[in-house]
C-alpha cells in the first residue's frame, strides 16, 4: 500500500522481549543492587613519629586491611594477611587488650621473629579482626617493619 511504512509486524519482538525481561529482573532483584552500609568501628593509627589518623574500618576486617585500604604508613603487609611475615606488627592500646581474641600459636611464632621490639601489647594486625567492641581502638606502628 502506498503511503504506509513498510515494517514487519514482529520485527522489534526480540528487543521488546529483552526490555521486558530486564524490567522484570530489575523489579524483583533491585534490592540486590542497593548498597547497605556496613557497620564500622573507628580505629586510630598512630605512627612511630606520633602522627595520628582516624579511620572507619568495616567490622569483620582486620587492623591490617583497614590500614592498607586507607594508605596508612608503617604497615607493610608483605604476605597480605597470611600470618607469614610480621610486617603488620602493631602495638595495641592496653585498654583494648582484654577485648581481643587470644594470640594463636602461629601469631605468637611470627611475633617472636618480628623486626621491631616485641612488647606485651604486640599483635599482628592481620590477625586482629575488628568488632563493634573495638570501636575507638588505638594502635601504634613500630619505627620499622623490616
* pLDDT (tens digit per residue) in 82-112: 999 999 999 999 999 999 999 999 999 999 9
Q: How many residues does the chain have?
A: 146
- Domain-located, residue 111: yes
Q: Reply yes or no on whether the pLDDT at 24 is more than 50.
A: no
Q: Which of 125 and 4 is assigned the larger pLDDT?
A: 125
| Cα-based distances in Å from 62 to 26, 65, 88 | 34, 5, 10
DSSP 129: B
For the chain, what is the mean pLDDT? Answer: 85
- Domain-located, residue 6: no
For 54-71, what is the mean pLDDT?
96
Q: What is the CATH number of the domain that holds 52?
A: 3.10.20.30
Domain of 88? 40-140
Q: What is the pTM of this model?
A: 0.74
Give whichever of 8-12, 34-38, 119-123 has the largest mean pLDDT.
Answer: 119-123
Structural domain count, the chain: 1
DSSP-H helix ranges across the chain: 13-33, 63-69, 105-112
DSSP structure string for 107-124: HHHHHHT-SSPP-TTEEE
Between vectors from CA 139 to CA 135 and to CA 145, what angle results, nearest 5°?
145
- How far apart, in Å, do the first and last CA atoms of the chain sit? 85
- Domain-located, residue 4: no
| Cα-based distances in Å from 87 to 52, 73, 122 | 19, 12, 12
The DSSP H or E segment spanning 91 is strand 89-92
- Domain-located, residue 93: yes
Amino acid at each position: 500500500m502506498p503511503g504506509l511504512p513498510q515494517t514487519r509486524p514482529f520485527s522489534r519482538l526480540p528487543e521488546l522481549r529483552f526490555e521486558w525481561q530486564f524490567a522484570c529482573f530489575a523489579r524483583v532483584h533491585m534490592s540486590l543492587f542497593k548498597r547497605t552500609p556496613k557497620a564500622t568501628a573507628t580505629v586510630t593509627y598512630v605512627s612511630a613519629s606520633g602522627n595520628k589518623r582516624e579511620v572507619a574500618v568495616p567490622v569483620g576486617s582486620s587492623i591490617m586491611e583497614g590500614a592498607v585500604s586507607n594508605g596508612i604508613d608503617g604497615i607493610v603487609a608483605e604476605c597480605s594477611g597470611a600470618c607469614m611475615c610480621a610486617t603488620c606488627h602493631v602495638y595495641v592500646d592496653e585498654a583494648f587488650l582484654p577485648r581481643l581474641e587470644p594470640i594463636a600459636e602461629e601469631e605468637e611464632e611470627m611475633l617472636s621473629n618480628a623486626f621491631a621490639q616485641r612488647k606485651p601489647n604486640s599483635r599482628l594486625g592481620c590477625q586482629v579482626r575488628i568488632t563493634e567492641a573495638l570501636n575507638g581502638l588505638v594502635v601504634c606502628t613500630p619505627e620499622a617493619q623490616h
